[in-house]
Amino acid sequence: MVRRFVLAALAFIGLIFPATFGLALLAAPAPAESKSVSMPAGCEHNLAAVNDGVSSMQSRLKSLGTTPGRATCSATRLYFLEIVKARAVTAACKSGPERERELGRLDADVAHVNDDIASRCGYGQGS
């Protein structure tokens, strides 16, 4: 009698646990990886605007060349500000490895342009 009870209990458990586990899997939410990551509102527009600003300042600097002067110094400073704006928007809008890669590139650009300002605008040359 005890043996029959134990066998019935094992059979019952053998049916209930897999069924419960299967239902739990079906009811579980999708993994976080499959969810799409959306940008905060307005980010796509802001990213496009700062990228356009950086591109137009790059074009302006290229057209001025390396000739020293007020116009080149002013354009280099404005380019610096555009890169800083682009970095701020990127930091606020992007995420994950793409964000880190982009911020690293922008940080390097900031350092490079800062050096250009020093050389083109006469800073660090005893003035």
Across the range 19-39, mean pLDDT stands at 58
Across the range 19-43, mean pLDDT stands at 61
Asked, for residue 127, whether it belongs to a domain, the answer is no
Domain count, the chain: 1
Is the pTM higher than 0.85? The answer reads: no
Alpha-carbon distance 87 to 104, whole Å? 9
Asked, for residue 69, whether it belongs to a domain, the answer is yes
Alpha-carbon distance 119 to 127, whole Å? 11
Asked, for residue 17, whether it belongs to a domain, the answer is no
Q: Residue 97 is part of which domain span?
A: 42-120
Asked, for residue 20, whether it belongs to a domain, the answer is no
Asked, for residue 75, whether it belongs to a domain, the answer is yes
Q: How high is the pLDDT of residue 20?
A: 64
pLDDT for 62-73, tens place per residue?
888 777 788 888
Alpha-carbon distance 19 to 12, whole Å? 11
Asked, for residue 4, whether it belongs to a domain, the answer is no
pLDDT for 81-124, tens place per residue?
999 999 999 988 888 888 899 999 999 999 998 888 888 787 65
Task: Report CA 3 to chain centroid distance, whole Å.
Answer: 64
Asked, for residue 62, whether it belongs to a domain, the answer is yes
The helix or strand, by DSSP H or E, that contains position 33, with its residue range, turns out to be none
Asked, for residue 115, whether it belongs to a domain, the answer is yes
